[in-house]
Structure 1
Amino acid sequence: MAYIIRPFLRQDADELANLTVAAIQSVGVKSYTAAQVAAWAARHPGPQRFLDRAAGGDHIIVAADASDYPIAYTLIEPDGHVDMLYCHPDHTRKGVADELLAAAEQYARSVKAETLFTEASELARPAFERAGYTVIKRRDFDIPYKGKAIGIHNYAMEKPIIQKA
C-alpha cells in the first residue's frame, strides 16, 4: 500500500489522538504490562495537544492512506527531538514508520538540526534502529497513574546528522 506523506492539517487532530491511544493499547501489550499500557495511554490527552504543538512550532508529519485518512504520524521539534512516532495498529509493519522517519530527517536537515534524538519505546526501537539511530541508554522511569507510580522503560537514541557544507 502506498502512503501519502504530508504535513499535519488541523482536521487531523482528532484522528491522530485516536490512533495514538489505539496504537498504545493494541501494540503496547506486546512489550509492556497492562498497567504500563494504561498509564502510557493516559499520558496522551485529546486532539488539542496536536493543535498546541503545531501552533508552538513543532512539525507534525502525517502518513495518510489513499483517501487521505491519517494512519500514522511523527512529531519532530526544531532541535531534532523526535517526540512521537505512532502508527495505527492496522498499518504496522508496512514500512510507514521508515517513511515518516526519513521525512523527519529531511525536516531536521532543513532547520539545520545537528542530531536527531528520541526516547523510543520497546516497540519503536527497531524502526529507529533501521533509520540509523543508536541506543544511548535504557531509561527506566515512573509514570504517575491513579495514585501509583507505574514503572516503565524506553530507550534514549540518537542519530547525528552530517550537514553538507
Structure 2
Amino acid sequence: MKIRTYEIGDTQKIVKLFYDTVHEVNIRDYTKAQVDAWAPADIDIESWTKSLSSKFTFVAEEGDQIAGFGELEVSGHIDRFYCHKDFQRQGVGKLILTEIESKAQDLGLNKLFAEASITARAFFESRGFIVIRKQEVERRDQKFINFVMEKYL
C-alpha cells in the first residue's frame, strides 16, 4: 500500500468510496435518513474536486484501488477522513494519519483537530486524540452526533 497526494483524476473514486463507506459502514451508528443526508446519491463532483484540491489531501492506494483518503487544512483541521468499506481495520487510517501528522509538523502545527463520527471516534482515540466535546450538527434537515477531538503533536 502506498500513500500519495491527491490527483484530480482520483475524484470519482474518492466520491464513490465516501458514499459506500457512509452507507455501508457508518450505517451501524446512524439511521438510513442520516446517512442519506450525509452522503446523498447526487454528490457534486465539481465541488468535491475544488475541495479536495484546496487542502493537503492524502490517498492510500492498493494497486489501482483507493483504500482511503484524508484531508488536512492549514489550521490543523482534519476534514474528511475515510477508509474504503473493504479496507476497514487493516491499517489504512493509521498510514493516512501518519502522513497527515508529518505534514502538520512540516507546517509548524502543534495540534490537529477533527469532528469525528460515532463510528470514527474509537479510531481517533486509539491514535492519541481526546474528545473535547460531544456535539449535535445538522445536515440536510437531519441531526447528527459527532465529537470534536484534538491531538497535540
1:62 paired to 2:54 = no
Task: Output the CA distance in 2 between the equivalents of 1:130 and 1:100.
Answer: 14
Other-structure match for 2:127: 131
1:43 Cα deviation after fit: 9.3
Q: Larger Cα Rg: Structure 1 or Structure 2? A: 1
Normalized against structure 2, the TM-score is what? Answer: 0.93
Other-structure match for 2:14: 16
1:151 Cα deviation after fit: 1.5
Task: Output the CA distance in 2 between the equivalents of 1:44 and 1:31.
Answer: 22
Indicate the SS of the match to 2:21.
helix
Task: Output the CA distance in 2 between the equivalents of 1:43 and 1:126.
Answer: 27
Normalized against structure 1, the TM-score is what? Answer: 0.87
RMSD value over aligned CA atoms?
1.6
Q: Post-superposition, which runs of at least 4 consecutive aligned residues in structure 1 deviate over 3 A?
A: none
Q: Deviations over 1:19-78 (max 9, x none)?
A: 00000000011111111111111298343234212443x10000000x242121001101
| CA gap 1:142/1:156 in 2 versus in 1, 3 angstroms | same
Q: 1:104 aligns with which of 91, 100, 103?
A: 100
1:152 paired to 2:144 = yes
1:160 Cα deviation after fit: 1.2
Gaps of 5+ in 1: none
Aligned pair count?
153
